[in-house]
Chain A
């Protein structure tokens, strides 16, 4: 119980409850006895902390009370002028978009999209289509707000195309047919495709199959000039495991190259219409070509497993042939796939140089 007595003495000293003689004695004791002195300073410090805590606690309670009271009185609440609201939104989104643009949609995966039709299993599907919706929702919002602001200040604004998604597509026929994913264009009212140079052409879907997730767009702009020789071909056979592959796509405003390998001959839950590939992709890569080292397009990127890294699914190219057959039957349009491969035996840099012009950004709203 010695320490009890000591702590008691420390407290009485601290509170000024000692008489002069006792106080002097205690100070002397501390001076000559480092052990006691240490206990004394530690205990004083502790009591200080305890008191601070309780004072701060009651201060915080008072703060909250005052805040609630003033909020109720409406003194601290927002003045609701409509114009200031627009300015408020504008300020919010302007900042958000800066950051959002900087990270280029790297984190924007929607998790809820269910593609369970591929699977017999009742498990909730956890694959993400790789169309970039979120980033562009910000851009869209931003545009809207910009318009509102422009209206408010009575400056006539040019009607501008406001895209709210971005993905990838590539030519399958030089006369203006572009293949992409059905999930990219399924809800789009207007679609625009843009080549590497930034030339934009409006396009319309002539075919969309949500089961295979393939869609074919026709460039309708007259300014589009027919391209004669596509450099790649589309094999009807299945590619081999471990085959090195690469892709080009638009996860950003700029074209992005990525490479990987074929990791399985079937896709999500054994879906035989797809491959599983290992490659780094992001929203926006949807609809991009998966090309082997000889320049053959073996598939089209469609989705990735949400909870796993580098597990990506690509639709096998032979599905394109089926799609073209259906188009010929239903719409009487004949799309001719290229038959000559001019990428073979080139090094990768040259292959990409040749390819770039045929891979398009697909945007729309």
Chain B
């Protein structure tokens, strides 16, 4: 069993997208989740999907900075997975109210709800970025995500100067925003 400090470190690592932290959490928690899902009408592959989704929830939480674990990490992950799995079963009309609980659980409704919203946003943005195509996609990623400077971008993408690159980036940005917000507002 981990101490509170060790778990805190894991979460900090997770928020920084550190593979060691991810691996440790997998090693220590996956088996429990897998046996829970198999006991409740799932295949081993379902366990991978659910656990992965739970890790994303945890990642978002850890990243938000406001996250204080009020219970053990194991309990938290188990609660999230349990809730996600119930939802999935319900969606497929395979829900069985007598679902087994092998551990204590904490309420995670809000987390799941927030996660679902974020997941939608993620897909929206990913889709919009795919739709605008190249070179816009790479150009915007270079500037907004890789935080490259305009002169760097200009030479990498073959623009004659930084101002040209900037104009091009602006055009791409307007298109991406249009695509994203059109769907975002549709969704609301």
Contact = CB atoms under 8 A, between A and B. Distances in A.
> Do the two chains bind?
yes
A98 B96 contact: yes
B144 A51 contact: yes
B126 A7 contact: no
| A: contact size bracket | 35 or more
Interface string B55-71: 11001100100000000
A59 B56 contact: yes
Contacts of A54: 141, 145
Contacts, number: 92
A96 B145 contact: no
Interface in B52-106: 52, 55-56, 59-60, 63, 93-94, 96
Contacts of B30: 70, 76
B26 interface: yes
Interface in A21-77: 42-43, 46-47, 49-60, 62-67, 69-70, 75-77
Contact of B41 (A50, A53, A78, A96): A96
A91 interface: yes
A179 B177 CA distance: 70
A95 interface: yes
Contacts of A53: 121-122, 125-126, 129
Contact of A67 (B52, B63, B118): B52
Interface in A89-117: 91-92, 95-96, 98-99
Interface in A178-217: none
B180 to A, nearest CB: 7
A99 B93 contact: yes
A4 interface: yes
A96 B43 CA distance: 13
Contacts of A60: 52, 56
A42 B144 CA distance: 16
Interface core residue of A52, A66, A78 (most chain B CB under 10 Å): A66
B114 to A, nearest CB: 12
Contacts of B125: 49-50, 52-53
A331 B31 CA distance: 64
Interface string A300-338: 000000000000000000000000000000000000000
Nearest to B34: A76
B170 A50 contact: no
A66 B22 contact: yes
B96 A56 contact: no
Contact of A4 (B94, B126, B140, B170): B170
Given A4-B170, A54-B145, A91-B39, A62 B17 contact: yes
Interface string B144-168: 1100000000000000000000110
A88 interface: yes
Interface in B11-45: 17, 19, 22-23, 26-27, 30-31, 34, 38-41, 43-44
29 contacts: A4-B166, A4-B170, A7-B170, A7-B173, A42-B181, A43-B177, A49-B125, A50-B144, A51-B145, A52-B122, A53-B121, A53-B125, A56-B122, A57-B126, A59-B59, A60-B56, A62-B19, A65-B19, A66-B26, A67-B52, A70-B26, A70-B27, A76-B31, A76-B34, A77-B44, A78-B44, A91-B40, A95-B40, A95-B41
Interface of B: 17, 19, 22-23, 26-27, 30-31, 34, 38-41, 43-44, 48, 52, 55-56, 59-60, 63, 93-94, 96, 118, 121-122, 125-126, 129, 140-141, 144-145, 166-167, 170, 173, 177, 180-181
Interface of A: 4, 7, 42-43, 46-47, 49-60, 62-67, 69-70, 75-78, 88, 91-92, 95-96, 98-99
The 6 A-B pairs at the shortest CB distance, nearest first, are namely A95-B41, A53-B125, A54-B145, A66-B22, A4-B170, A66-B23
